[in-house]
Amino acid sequence: MAFPETRMRRLRYNSVLRDMVTETHLSVDDLVMPLFVCAGTNVRNPIGSMPGNYQLSVENLVEECKKVYASGVRAVLLFGIPAEKDEDGSVACEHNGIVQTATRAIKKEIEDLYIIADVCNCEYTTHGHCGTIIDGDVDNDTTLETLARQSVSLAEAGVDMIAPSDMMDGRVGKIRKALDEAHFEKIPIMAYSAKFASAFYGPFRDAAESAPKFGNRATYQMNPANSNEAVREVQLDIEEGADIVMVKPAMAFLDIVYRVKTEFKMPVAAYNVSGEFSMVKATGEKGWIDEARVMIEVLTSIKRAGADIIITYHAVEAANIIKGINEQ
Ligand code: PBG
């Protein structure tokens, strides 16, 4: 039936009805808050390009985690900024590594906070690349060894989930095997499966002090123009044992989120990355957009596209808004 019998506006005249027919509901359960932990004590360095985000030393990180948990967000994604870096990221595999230390401290105080550890070498190498350099480029198979060691060490420290973000071939299988051999068969892997070589990571690299000192990440991260390749990456990670597959960034890659969700019956995560966050913050600060509404619209779009899990620096702010809406 067409107009005038059908009138699409009929369901839009009343707010109760509009709520009834709302198709996508953002929930605090969907959100993961990324946090940056650094060496030292009493450190709370504001990250200039990411308002409201800080490099935190362990005891301040624990306090921040309490605030996150109190907001209703029950999962964090940890990134470490070590005191010393080295050539191959071995510092990330140490018992007293920065994320390992942070994890033990958080678990002691907030047992139920779910801790996801990003696994990558770029924050830990002197050159800022995600793996070991041989002949001027990241060597895939050598890097797999440090990634596996880092993962096992983080599991020993008590993280709940491992999230490899390096984009080496074969790393999910290698990490799964290493975790299983160390009896961590219950620890899931959330793979950054379709991770693009994106300019949206700019602010993060200030935050994590992880910008490459030479070249770029184009030999390991994906070309943002490619979609079929993303599907192949996801397929391979699933075959290697990924429990959750991730698309990153989110906003400019919602077609990939949708494709991954429809082609694979898998839980899908999307990473609303630093540059996406900073754009909303900067335009909000200038008064050019309604920051809170744009934030919720962006996060809802990511969910509507098919993401089950949204990793976002807006997590705590969004949780407070969602709670406000639910209490109305
Ligand atoms: C580490 C890593 C990066 C991000 C998450 N893990 C940076 C990169 O690949 O350069 C980016 C997150 C963000 O921009 O918020 N490899």
Catalytic residue among 195, 261, 281, 303: 195
Residue 168 lies in a domain: yes
CB 161 within 8 A of CB 189: yes
CATH number at residue 117: 3.20.20.70
* Amino acid in position 284: G
* Ligand 1 neighbours (beta carbon < 6 A): 118, 120, 122, 130, 165, 201, 204-205, 210, 273-274
Residue 11 lies in a domain: no
307 CA distance to ligand 1 middle (Å): 19
- Respond yes or no: is residue 174 known to be catalytic: no
Q: How far apart are the first and last CA of the chain?
A: 37
pLDDT in tens, 52-71: 999 999 999 999 999 999 99
pLDDT in tens, 129-175: 999 999 999 999 999 999 999 999 999 999 999 999 999 999 999 99
Measured in degrees and rounded to the nearest 5, phi and psi for residue 207 equal -65, -45
Query: Residue 181 has which token pair?
Result: 């051999």
CA-nearest residue, atom 6 of ligand 1: 165
Query: Residue 16 has which token pair?
Result: 């109760």
pLDDT in tens, the chain (328 residues): 999 999 999 999 999 999 999 999 999 999 999 999 999 999 999 999 999 999 999 999 999 999 999 999 999 999 999 999 999 999 999 999 999 999 999 999 999 999 999 999 999 999 999 999 999 999 999 999 999 999 999 999 999 999 999 999 999 999 999 999 999 999 999 999 999 999 999 999 989 988 999 999 999 999 999 999 999 999 999 999 999 999 999 999 999 999 999 999 999 999 999 999 999 999 999 999 999 999 999 999 999 999 999 999 999 999 999 988 777 6
Nearest-angstrom CA–CA distance, 124 and 166: 12
Q: For residue 286, give the 3-state DSSP assignment.
A: coil
Closest by alpha carbon to 121, among 100, 151, 152?
Answer: 151
Residue 127 lies in a domain: yes
Which domain range does residue 151 map to? 24-327
Nearest-angstrom CA–CA distance, 314 and 32: 9
8 CA distance to ligand 1 middle (Å): 42
Kindly give the number of the ligand 1 atom that is closest to the alpha carbon of 201. Answer: 14
Residue 185 lies in a domain: yes
143 CA distance to ligand 1 middle (Å): 17
Query: Residue 15 has which token pair?
Result: 């707010």
Ligand 1 mutation pick, 120, 209, 219, max ligand atoms within 8 A of CB: 120
- Respond yes or no: is residue 177 known to be catalytic: no
Residue 229 lies in a domain: yes
Residue 318 lies in a domain: yes
Ligand 1 mutation pick, 147, 168, 204, 272, max ligand atoms within 8 A of CB: 204
* Cross-strand pairs, 77: 34, 116
Residue 19 lies in a domain: no
The pTM assigned to this predicted structure is 0.97
Residue 3 lies in a domain: no
CA-nearest residue, atom 7 of ligand 1: 201
* Amino acid in position 73: V
- 158 exposed, middle or buried (CB, 10 Å; 0-12, 13-18, 19+)? middle
By DSSP bridging, strand 161-164 and strand 44-46 are: unpaired
CB 143 within 8 A of CB 162: no
Rounded CA Rg of the chain = 20
Nearest-angstrom CA–CA distance, 43 and 55: 7
User: How many domains does the structure of the chain reveal?
Assistant: 1
Ligand 1 mutation pick, 210, 221, 281, 312, max ligand atoms within 8 A of CB: 210
81 CA distance to ligand 1 middle (Å): 13
Catalytic residue among 248, 261, 281, 303: 248
